[in-house]
Structure 1
């Protein structure tokens, strides 16, 4: 069962892939295997929508939160150590930034419902599951599948974690592709 407090309108992995593909097409360098997620958030998204804001905050300001998406305000806040890690190429930190972008892309202008305590949320209605899928589809696009010979090399090449590559490979296998 999901720990999410909210329920989002249902989205399949295939639908989420379309959103990620659209974002890649709009971004300079989106046709390259390793998407520069930091530059996308710092520079390019503001050019696509002037309302978008990206802020790096100190650890004491963010507390336990590595990053936050304020979907109604089109704003992402990231903890400084996570930002520094993403700039340095840390797969986990790059994925954190992409996760928050996923919330903005998938959940801005969407009405989320509050989940009743103890009620199950189907994965495709879980905003966290949707954002995780977005990360995989954005940073490990299916169009680059032929390049993935082994998960460890792919993780280094794409700038993500080995576990993320394995998760994507398993998802594609479940889809029968």
Structure 2
């Protein structure tokens, strides 16, 4: 899966890092996965779709050019490229982050129209940025600090929680050594 460069997204209501982390924790609790280190996101998506909690649409990659996914929080809908969904089912770490990112849009941006992981110019503060907020959410949804053991290294966090080493290192820097 090719990694696309991300610019600022839509301006949204400001959220602090701690508030976003609380959203991630609450979703884990609502999904009854608070005690799981490695989340099977493909299983969670299928269960949410089966319960009609979300509408998940898998489309051919060319239907979403320059985008991995588009989320419509007002309709509880996520549209994913087929290659992203296939990669998710194979445990690809970038696909896992993308899906967690899109779940973040659903949880935090309900009063908005649509969100896409694409290049969108903006002129607002980072904590008002939809894409930054969704990235922070994804980080905390996938790496639950309540499950990170004392002394874990970024390599161990990456392996245990199924995130890229870069995501684990970023999380580790921002959340301090445990």
Q: Distance in 2 between matches of 1:122 and 1:39?
A: 35
What's 2:3 paired with?
none
Q: Distance in 1 between matches of 2:49 and 2:150?
A: 28
Partner of 1:39: 43
SS at match of 2:147: helix
Structure 1 contact 46–53 (Cα < 8 Å) conserved: no
Q: 1:165 aligns with which of 154, 164, 168?
A: 168
Instruction: Report if aligned partners of 2:72, 2:78 keep a CA contact under 8 Å in 1.
Output: yes
Of 61, 82, 85, the residue aligned with 1:80 is 82
**Cα RMSD between the aligned structures?**
2.5
What whole-Å deviation, never above 9, does each CA across 1:11-46 have from its counterpart, x for those lacking one? 011001111001001114342101122221221365
Q: Relative to structure 2, which stretch is displaced further, 21-30 or 157-166?
A: 21-30
Query: Partner residue of 1:18?
Result: 22
Q: Is the 8 A contact 1:92 1:160 kept in 2?
A: yes
Give the alignment of 1:1-177 within 5 angstroms.
Answer: 3-44=7-48, 47=51, 50=52, 52-110=54-112, 120-146=123-149, 149-173=152-176
Contact 1:72 1:109 in 2 (8 A): yes
Cα deviation per residue 1:39-58 (whole Å; 9 max; x = unaligned)? 212213653xx352011111
Aligned residues of 1:68 and 1:78 also touching (Cα < 8 A): yes
After the TM superposition, which of the residue ranges 16-25 and 148-157 deviates more from structure 2? Answer: 148-157
Rounded to whole Å, the distance in 1 between the matches of 2:146 and 2:49 is: 22
CA pair 171-62 structure 1, distance change in 2 beyond 3 A: same
**CA deviation vs aligned residue, 1:70-122 (integer Å, no higher than 9, x gap):** 1221100111111111111111100000111111111012589xxxx986321
Equivalents in 2 of 1:133, 1:70: separation in Å?
19
Structure 1: 5+ residue stretches without partners: none
